[in-house]
Amino acid sequence: MKALSSLALVVALAALAFFLGRVEPLRVVLGVIIPYVAIAIFLAGVSYKVIVWSLSPVPFRIPTSCGQQKSLSWIKAGWLENPHSTPGVVARMALEVLLFRSLFRNTKAELREGPRLIYGERRFLWLGALAFHWSFLVIFVRHLRFFIEPVPRLVMVLDRLDSFFQVGIPLLYITDVTIVAALLYLLLRRLRDPQVRYISLFADYFALFLILGLALSGVWMRYFARIDVVAVKQLAIGLVTFSPIVPREVTSLFLVHLILLSTLLAYFPFSKLMHMGGIFLSPTRNLANNNRRKRHVNPWDYPVPVHPYQEWEAEFHDKIAAAGLPLEK
Amino acid sequence: MANPKPEELTQIDYQPGRKDWMNPAVEFRKGVFCYSAAPKNLRYLGLPNPREWQPFDKDWKLPADWKRTILEGMRERLRKFRSFRLFMDICVRCGACADKCHFYIGSGDPKNMPVLRAELIRSVYRRYFTTAGRVLGRLAGARELTEDVLKEWFYYFYQCTECRRCSVFCPYGIDTAEVTMIVRELLNLVGCNINWVVEPAANCFRTGNHLGIQPHGFKDSIDFAVDELEEITGIRVEAPINRKGAEILFVVPSADYFATPHYFTLLGYLMLLHEAGLDYTFSAYASEGGNFGLFQSHEMMKRLNAKIYAEARRLGVKWILGGECGHMWRVIHQYMDTLNGPADFLEVPVSPVTGTRFEHARSTKMVHICEFTSDLIRHGKLRLDPSRNNRWNVTFHDSCNPARAMGLLEEPRYILRNVCKNFHEMPENTIREQTFCCGSGAGLGTDENFEMRMRGGLPRANAVKYVRDKFGVNLVACVCAIDKATLPTLFEYWVPGMEVAGVHELVGNALLMKGERERTGDLRGEPFQEKEASTHA
Ligand code: HEM
Ligand code: SF4
Ligand code: SF4
C-alpha cells in the first residue's frame, strides 16, 4: 500500500509536469520559478537543520568502541575502529562516509535446528548502497557540464571514465546502469525482505521512487528521446547566472526531470535524506575514545542532590563505631 | 506457573505479523516484563509519582498532565542531547540493525528490532516536533502520544539492555541504547519505573551500595573473605576499609562481596593486591562501583557516582582502582569525569610495582583492575601456575560495556592466557565488539522477567554451547557483576553444566603467593586437577 501510493505520487508529479509543460505560460513556472523555490528551500532547510544539530550540545563523550582501547603501551590499540586521537577519528569517519564501513559489517542471523544460531555475511545491502550513492555522486558531478562553461577538466575526465566502455550512441554511462540497478535492488529489498518491509514507511518508498523517477527520466532523455542538449544548457546556465530563460526547444520531458529534481531538493531537508549531514555529526562515531585521558565538559551540567559522607556517617555512626571503622566525628 | 521449556522458546516466528506496527499493542504476560518500582524507593529518592501499581493493571495512575510532562521532557532533551535529536532525524530504516539485537533474535518480536524500538518514540517525535508529521500525520509516520503508546514504551524500553550492539552495525552509529536511556528518563518523569532499577539506586544512595549493606555488614563480609583466604593459603592478607592516607582507593561492585560466584573474584583481588604489596583501602561509603542510575537517568547516574570522587578526596588517596563490572565501567570510562570531575585533587595513576604510568587514565584517574593486573604480568611481577586452573577449559565472554563503550578487549585475554592453559574463543560474530549481551543487563535481571531473559540470552548461550561441543569448554570467564549474577541461570537453561567465573578468580587460583602453605585446592574448594592426576598415576 505505502509502496503503491508513493509510486502513484511520483507518477502523478511526473504526469503533471509533462502536461503542464505543454502549456506555454506555465513553462516559466516549471522551468524557473519552481526550481528557484526548491533550491531556496533546500539551502535554507539544510542549513537550518545542520545549525540546529551543531548548536545542540554533546554533553557526554559516547563513542561506540569497535576495537581495542589505547591503554598499555604493549597492547596494540585499534586506532581506526576505536580511535583515541583526531587522525584516527578522521580516518574512521572517512571510511564511514566514503565506504560505509559499518554497513560492511552486516550479517544475517539465522536460527537452525539444534538450536544453532548462524551469522552469515550479508554484504548485498552494502554493495547496493555503495553503488547507488557513488553513482549518484558521479552523476551529480557530471551534470556540472550543463552549468559551467567552459566545462572543468575534472568533469570531462569523469565523463570519459564513466563512458569508458564506449558502447552505444550516445555513449553509455556506467553509472546510469548502476544507479538504476542499485535503486531497483534497494526497492526490491524493501518489498521482499519481510523485516524491512515491516519497518518501511511511506517516506522510505517515496525517496526511492522519486530518485528512480529522476534517474529514469534522465536516461529516457539521453538514450531514447535524444533531447536538445544545447537548449538545456541554455536553461541551466540561465538559472545559475540569474538570467533565466526557457528556450522553445526544451521539451516537457525535460521539465518532468526538472520537477522531480525540484521535488527532491524541496523534500530533502524534511526527510531522512538529511542523513547526508547527520552522519558527520554522529557522536558515537565522530568522537575519540580518549575519555579517561581528556576531560569532556558538559555545558549544561548542574548540581544534583547527593548523599554526602557526613550525612552517611551520622546515619550509621554507631554501627561504624561498633565495627571498629574509623570515624570523622 | 512453570517456565517454558527451551524447546518451546526456540519455536520462533521471525515473520512479522500483518498488523501495522503503529497500532500500539502490548500484553504484559507473565515472564516478559519487570515489576514496577515500590513507592518507598521513589519517595526516598524524591522521584515523581510514587504509587502502588503494576504494568498489567489497566489503570497506571498516571498524573493528570502526564502527556504534557512527557512532551516537555522530550523538548528539553532534544535541546540537550545532540545524540537524541540526530537519532530521531536521520534513520533511513535500512534494517541493518534489525537482527543484531539479542532480544529480536531470541523473541522474533518485530518491535525488538532496534530500528522499531526507536521508531516507537520517533513516531511521536515526528507528530509533535516536525512539520511534516504535524501536517501529514500517519502518512509521515507520525502518531499521537496516547496511554497505550506510553505502555508500549515501557514494555519495549525495558526490553533493551542498553548493550549498544546495534550501534556497531548502523551506518550512522545510531545507538538505540542512547534512545533507551532518554525514554527511560521520560518514563521516570511520570513514575513508570521498574523496581529492580530504582531499589538498588535507593539503596546505593543511602548505604553506599546497591544491596543496601550497611557499614558493619560490609566490614563483616570483607573480614569473612580474609579469614577464608587464610584458611586456603595460610596467609592473612590486609583489607583495610575507610583508611585515610592509603595510596589507592579500591572500588568494586557490591555483588563481589555478597554474591556467588562473584565472591571468588573478591578472593582473587585480595590475594593479588596483597602479593603486589599495594597500599590501598576499600570504602564503606563508596562501597559500590556499579551504578543503576545509568539505567534510569543521567541525573541519577550523577547522584550515585558522586560518592567515588568525594571519598577519594576525603581519604586523600592518589588514584582509584576499579574491580570487574561492566556497566560500572561504562559510567567510569564515559561519564564519571564529566559528571563529577575534574579529579584534579588526584594524581595520574602509577603502578607502584612496575612504575607504569597509566597515561590513558590521566584525567579520570581510575584504572581497571585488568589493566593493572596485565601490566603486572607483563613485567613478570607475579608468579603464576596456570596448571592450577587445569580443571577449567575456559572461554571469555566480553561484557557489552567494556567492549563497546571502552574497548577493554585484550587485557582480560592476556591475563587469561597467563593463568590458565585451556582457552578457546567463541565464534567471531559473538565476541569483542560484536559480543552478545547476557540478556539481563540494564536492570532487567529479575526473576519475574525470566522468559525474556532466556530469550535475550539465547545468542550468548548458543555461542557458549558451540565451544562446549567443539572444544569441551566448561567455564565462561567474564569481567562483569551482572554477568556473574545472571549467566549461571542462563546457562542452566540453555547449556547445563557450564560454570561462570570472574577473571580474577582464575588469577587467584594460579597465583603463587610468597609464604603460602601447600595448596591443594582452588578458591571454590575443589582439588587441583594435576595433583589428582599424579596420585592416580
Ligand atoms: C555524505 C553523503 C551520504 C552518505 C555517507 C550516505 C550514506 C547512506 C547509507 C550508509 C545508507 C544506508 C544504506 C541504504 O539503505 O542504502 C543510505 C541510504 C540512503 N541514502 Fe544516502 N548517503 C549520503 C547522501 C545521500 C544523498 C545525497 C541522497 C539522495 C539525494 C541519499 C539517498 C539515500 C536513500 C534514498 C537511502 C535509502 C535507501 C533505501 O531506502 O534502501 N543519500 N545513505
Ligand atoms: S541501521 Fe541505523 S539507519 Fe539502519 S535502520 Fe537501523 S538505526 Fe536506522
Ligand atoms: S542496545 Fe542492545 S538491547 Fe538495545 S536495541 Fe540495541 S541491540 Fe537491542
Residue B123 carries which side chain, given as an amino acid letter?
S
Domains of chain A: 2-322 (1.20.950.20)
pLDDT exceeds cutoff 70 at B535: no
Q: What is the average per-residue pLDDT within B345-371?
A: 98
| pLDDT above 70 coverage of chain B, percent | 98
Going by alpha carbons, the residue nearest to atom 4 of ligand 3 is B160
| A239 Cβ contact list (under 8 Å, min separation 6) | A32, A35, A36, A147
- Sorting pLDDT into bands at 50, 70 and 90, what band is B530? low
Going by alpha carbons, the residue nearest to atom 7 of ligand 3 is B101
pLDDT exceeds cutoff 90 at B533: no
Is the CB of A100 inside a 6 Å radius of any atom of ligand 1?
yes
pLDDT exceeds cutoff 90 at A164: no
Q: What is the average per-residue pLDDT within B229-239?
A: 96
Helix axes B215-233, A309-322, angle to 10 degrees: 50
> Do β-strands A116-121 and A107-112 pair in parallel, antiparallel, or remain unpaired?
antiparallel
Quick one: pLDDT at residue A167? Answer: 85
Q: What is the DSSP letter of B18?
A: S
Helix axes A174-192, A202-219, angle to 10 degrees: 150
Phi/psi of residue A52, nearest 5 degrees: -60, -45
Helix axes B176-189, B82-89, angle to 10 degrees: 110
Quick one: pLDDT at residue A5? Answer: 95
* Cβ atoms of residues B169 and B97 within 8 Å: yes
* Cβ atoms of residues B146 and A30 within 8 Å: no
Q: What is the DSSP letter of B300?
A: H
Q: Of B226, B316, B231, whose CA–CA distance to B279 is shortest?
A: B316
Question: Model confidence over A256-272: pLDDT tens digits?
Answer: 999 999 999 999 999 99
Question: Model confidence over A69-107: pLDDT tens digits?
Answer: 999 999 999 999 999 999 999 999 999 999 999 999 999
* Cβ atoms of residues A64 and B173 within 8 Å: yes
Task: Look up residue B392 and give its three cell numbers.
Answer: 577449567
- Lay out the sheet containing B475-478: strands in order across: B394-396, B475-478, B499-502
Q: Of B408, B331, B425, whose CA–CA distance to B371 is shortest?
A: B408
| B498 Cβ contact list (under 8 Å, min separation 6) | B464, B468, B473, B474, B475, B476, B491
Q: What is the pTM of this model?
A: 0.95
Distance from CA of B529 to the nearest CA of A (A): 32
Question: How far does the centroid of ligand 1 lie from the alpha carbon of residue A131, in Å?
Answer: 10
- H or E element, residue B395: strand B394-396
- Region of A68 please: left (phi>0), alpha (psi -120 to 50) or beta: beta
pLDDT exceeds cutoff 60 at B1: no
d(CA A243, CA A180): 34
Distance from CA of A252 to the nearest CA of B (A): 30
Question: How far does the centroid of ligand 3 lie from the alpha carbon of residue B82, in Å?
Answer: 20
Taking the Cβ of residue A85 and every Cβ of chain B, the question of whether any pair is shorter than 8 Å is answered with no
Going by alpha carbons, the residue nearest to atom 25 of ligand 1 is A276
Question: Model confidence over A183-242: pLDDT tens digits?
Answer: 999 999 999 999 999 999 999 999 999 999 999 999 999 999 889 999 999 999 999 999
Listed in order, strand segments (DSSP E) in B119-238 are none
Asked if A59's CB is within 8 angstroms of B80's CB, the reply is yes
pLDDT exceeds cutoff 70 at B537: no
* Cβ atoms of residues A293 and B362 within 8 Å: yes
Q: Which residues of B touch A312 (CB under 8 A)?
A: 207-208, 285
Q: Which residues of A touch B171 (CB under 8 A)?
A: 96, 100, 102-103, 129, 279
Mean pLDDT of chain B: 96
pLDDT exceeds cutoff 90 at B18: no
A137-174 as b/e: b if 16+ CB within 10 A: ebbebbeebbeeeeeeeebeebbeebbeeeeeeeebbe
The gap from C-alpha B131 to its chain's centroid, in whole angstroms, comes to 39
pLDDT exceeds cutoff 90 at B423: yes
pLDDT exceeds cutoff 50 at A67: yes
d(CA B382, CA B273): 11
Q: Of B142, B150, B148, whose CA–CA distance to B123 is shortest?
A: B142
pLDDT exceeds cutoff 70 at B424: yes
Taking the Cβ of residue A143 and every Cβ of chain B, the question of whether any pair is shorter than 8 Å is answered with no
Distance from CA of B269 to the nearest CA of A (A): 20
Residue A66 burial by CB count (10 A; 0-12/13-18/19+): exposed, middle or buried? buried
Residue B434 carries which side chain, given as an amino acid letter?
Q
Task: Look up residue B342 and give its three cell numbers.
Answer: 575534574
CB atoms within 10 A of CB A255: 29
Task: Look up residue A231 and give its three cell numbers.
Answer: 537548449
Question: Model confidence over B140-183: pLDDT tens digits?
Answer: 999 999 999 999 999 999 999 999 999 999 999 999 999 999 99
Mean pLDDT of chain A: 95
Taking each continuous run of H as one helix and of E as one strand, the counts in chain B are 24, 7
Distance from CA of A81 to the nearest CA of B (A): 10
Question: Model confidence over A40-65: pLDDT tens digits?
Answer: 999 999 999 999 999 999 999 999 99
pLDDT exceeds cutoff 70 at B536: no
Asked if B314's CB is within 8 angstroms of A309's CB, the reply is yes
Asked if B307's CB is within 8 angstroms of A309's CB, the reply is yes
Task: Look up residue B11 and give its three cell numbers.
Answer: 519455536
d(CA B487, CA B489): 5
Question: Model confidence over B206-221: pLDDT tens digits?
Answer: 999 999 999 999 999 9
pLDDT exceeds cutoff 60 at B49: yes
pLDDT exceeds cutoff 80 at B391: yes
pLDDT exceeds cutoff 60 at B532: no
Q: What is the DSSP letter of B442?
A: T
Asked if B164's CB is within 8 angstroms of A67's CB, the reply is no
Least confident of B38-42, B219-223, B515-519: B515-519
Q: How far is CA B460 from CA A117, B18, B234, B450, B506, in A?
A: 10, 30, 39, 16, 21
> Which ranges constitute the DSSP H helices of B420-516?
450-456, 458-471, 481-494, 503-510
Quick one: pLDDT at residue A1? Answer: 82
d(CA A169, CA B531): 84
Ligand 3, atom nearest to B400 Cα? 2
**Among A residues 168-187, those touching chain B with beta carbons less than 8 Å apart:** none
